[in-house]
Structure 1
Amino acid sequence: MSNRTMVFLRAIVFVFVVPCLLWGQVSSATISGEAKDQTGAVVPGVAVTVRNVDTGLVRTTTSNERGLYAVPNLNPGHYEVEAALAGFQTYRRSGLALTVGSTVAVDIPLQVGAAVEIITVTGEAPVIETTTSTVSGLVSERTIRDLPLDGRSYDSLATLQVAVVQFNYNDPNAVRGRGQQFSVSGSRATQNQFLLDGMDITEYGGATPGSVAGVNLGVEAIREFQILTSNFPAEYGRSVGGVINAVTRSGTNTLHGSLYHYLRNSTLDAKNYFDPPDEPIPPFKRNQFGASLGGPIRKDHIFFFSNYEGLRARTGLSLTPVVPSLNARQGNLRDGPVKIAEAVKPYLAWYPIPRP
């Protein structure tokens, strides 16, 4: 293979791989901590192994001279941490659930003994964030799956968080955005930033992203999302409002999928205030359907996840037009009678008879 071809291939890898690694820093999680012995003294050189329970992926590091270690850029999921050093018992911590953008502190208390002896601690990571001053809230995977969503757009759940208020203004358009509008900590609805797997997807003009139907389809593909309301860390920017940081689902060592179809139509709806009481409800039909599938390509190494979601909506509306009254049709106006030309009468007949 010629040198020119090698340079070209390396350039392709750099263009497509390096940006993914850089963007992923704001959507990933971190495990960090300190290794100490029974006397409280720091222990350097401890081999720390972090394993994703769902995918089997493993990351390793070593504690530094101050006993500190950190494993960044971890995908959200369930993890276990194992620490080993000659002359000490192996320490294992399981039951760690990492969420998008979180930093979990896992300190390692080492005890003198043989390395074949293993101390296992099982427990969830603390819910209180002690490593950052950022004010944020998490909408978990369970919340996204279990709560009913009109339109199945994940950004509709943003108002569950403190300091987030739905903000409806003007008609949706390309400049104002077509997605759900909301204000974070009193800011304008066009001052928020939206990230998906670390990539900025904010609508043109700073508005909420959304399709022509005004929704963000693909709820089944969203694992969870985080809303930062104030005190953002340095890796976030371009926003004086809130940061909505979402991460997509991924495949695991187990094949899993779903098939769904949601139906809503006028037969199941009640009349609204503007619908005529003696006429049928305007026709309305909405179908949301799709399927998802994820699993391993090569166990513990390569995975896939795909999702398709479709929306078909046919909507009828009740309008209240202004039409000529019965007196006006006969030429009896408020300022006095007028003669209705014979050529005009057929056009007046096109208007519906006004309701009392």
Structure 2
Amino acid sequence: MRRRIQSARLMCFYLLLVVGLVMLSPVVGWAQFENASVIGYVRDKSGAAVSGSSVTLTNTGTNVSQTSKTDGEGKFEFNSVNIGNYVVTAESAGFQTTKTAPFALTVNARQRVDVNVAAGTVNETVEVSAAAQILDTETSSRSTVVGTREVESLPLNGRSYADLALLVPGTRKSFLENQTTSSREASFNVNGQRSAFNNFLLDGLDNNNYGTSNQGFANENIPPSPDAVSEFRVEVNNYSAEYGRAPGAVVNAAIRRGTNQIHGRAWDYVRNTSFNAIGPFLAT
């Protein structure tokens, strides 16, 4: 009996040790899929790299900034950056301070922003009218971003933001075998894959309903309100191995974040058959 008690205590000790190591380890950083990266090069007018430049990335909505130094190739990189609007400022001895135009950073983007500096003093500031590349040249994945404008403006029958994934090429609504006019929430086929093969992420956290217990309900565990969704990216092919698990699409949704400006909204959601249009064959 005493040996059993000692074994139980030993097992509890090991369990607490493992839990503590997991909480203190860098594994917490795994759930950062909704964040983005900003990379680029600082070069002079001749195209030569400017090493040791101080590069600052500033969120225009919150004024939160972070600073990095360029390496020997003039390259800088900011990882795990929240989505939003940003500007990049480059400062280096013997060159004018250069500030880019604001650019949008979307969910899980790898945004390329190059800065060309001119000779002068640091006290002189030059603002560039164009900076960020429109084409995504830093990743080989194929994806589509459904932004805030689409989430707010496009009609949704059922208030499911995931229905907007049908805007992505190669996507169709997935119907159950015993249903012909409707399907469960967030259920769609991408490039011919089964709907159960899709991978849903919400602010970087796993948001999937696993197994067959979700039949007739939802493919994602927590369907957020469209008013809470800032944007989402649907990756359909050749996405990074960090996602793993699923051969279908990766639906990466990000919840809205606040800024320094106070804002809000009010709305009323009413659904009643009294508002339906009169049928063309209604008897009089």
Structure 1 length as normaliser, TM-score? 0.67
Q: 1:104 Cα shift? A: 1.2
Provide the rounded CA distance (Å) in 1 between the counterparts of 2:62 and 2:215: 33
Larger radius of gyration: 1
Q: 1:68 Cα shift? A: 1.0
Q: 1:124 Cα shift? A: 6.5
**Which structure has more RCO (C-alpha within 8 Å, separation ≥ 6)?**
2
Q: Which residue pairs with 1:82 in the alignment?
A: 89
Q: Which residue pairs with 2:233 in the alignment?
A: 226
Residue 267 in structure 1 maps to residue 274 in structure 2: yes
Hey, which of these two has a bigger chunk of strand by percent? 1
Do the aligned residues in 1 keep the contact of 2:113 with 2:131 (CA within 8 Å)? no
Q: 1:20 Cα shift? A: 5.1
SS of equivalent residue, structure 2 residue 163: helix
Q: 1:250 Cα shift? A: 1.1
Residues 20 and 56 of structure 1: is their aligned pair in 2 closer, same or farther, counting only changes over 3 Å?
farther
Q: Which residue pairs with 1:336 in the alignment?
A: none
Do the aligned residues in 2 keep the contact of 1:194 with 1:208 (CA within 8 Å)? no
Q: 1:162 Cα shift? A: 0.3
Residues 168 and 81 of structure 1: is their aligned pair in 2 closer, same or farther, counting only changes over 3 Å?
same
Do the aligned residues in 2 keep the contact of 1:31 with 1:71 (CA within 8 Å)? yes
**Percent of aligned pairs sharing the same letter:** 33
Do the aligned residues in 1 keep the contact of 2:100 with 2:128 (CA within 8 Å)? yes
Residue 64 in structure 1 maps to residue 64 in structure 2: no
Show the 5 A alignment for 1:196-275.
196-205=202-211, 216-270=223-277
Do the aligned residues in 1 keep the contact of 2:58 with 2:86 (CA within 8 Å)? yes
Unaligned runs of 5+ in 1: 1-7, 279-356
1:146 aligns with one of 140, 153, 158: 153
Provide the rounded CA distance (Å) in 1 between the counterparts of 2:135 and 2:215: 29
Provide the rounded CA distance (Å) in 2 between the counterparts of 1:151 and 1:123: 40
Q: Which residue pairs with 1:311 in the alignment?
A: none
Q: 1:164 Cα shift? A: 0.8
Count residues with an aligned counterpart.
Answer: 262
Provide the rounded CA distance (Å) in 1 between the counterparts of 2:190 and 2:164: 13
Counterpart amino acid of residue 120 in structure 1: E
Provide the rounded CA distance (Å) in 1 between the counterparts of 2:254 and 2:166: 18
Counterpart amino acid of residue 197 in structure 2: Q
Residues 93 and 12 of structure 1: is their aligned pair in 2 closer, same or farther, counting only changes over 3 Å?
farther
Q: Which residue pairs with 1:103 in the alignment?
A: 110
- The C-alpha deviation readout for 1:115-153, integer Å capped at 9, x for no partner, is 111111133733321111111101000100011111211
- Provide the aligned C-alpha RMSD in A: 3.1
2:200 aligns with one of 191, 194, 204: 194
Provide the rounded CA distance (Å) in 2 between the counterparts of 1:254 and 1:13: 40
Provide the rounded CA distance (Å) in 1 between the counterparts of 2:193 and 2:56: 43
- The C-alpha deviation readout for 1:305-331, integer Å capped at 9, x for no partner, is xxxxxxxxxxxxxxxxxxxxxxxxxxx
Do the aligned residues in 2 keep the contact of 1:28 with 1:73 (CA within 8 Å)? yes
Counterpart amino acid of residue 31 in structure 2: W
Residue 119 in structure 1 maps to residue 150 in structure 2: no
SS of equivalent residue, structure 2 residue 265: strand
SS of equivalent residue, structure 1 residue 241: coil
Unaligned runs of 5+ in 2: 1-15
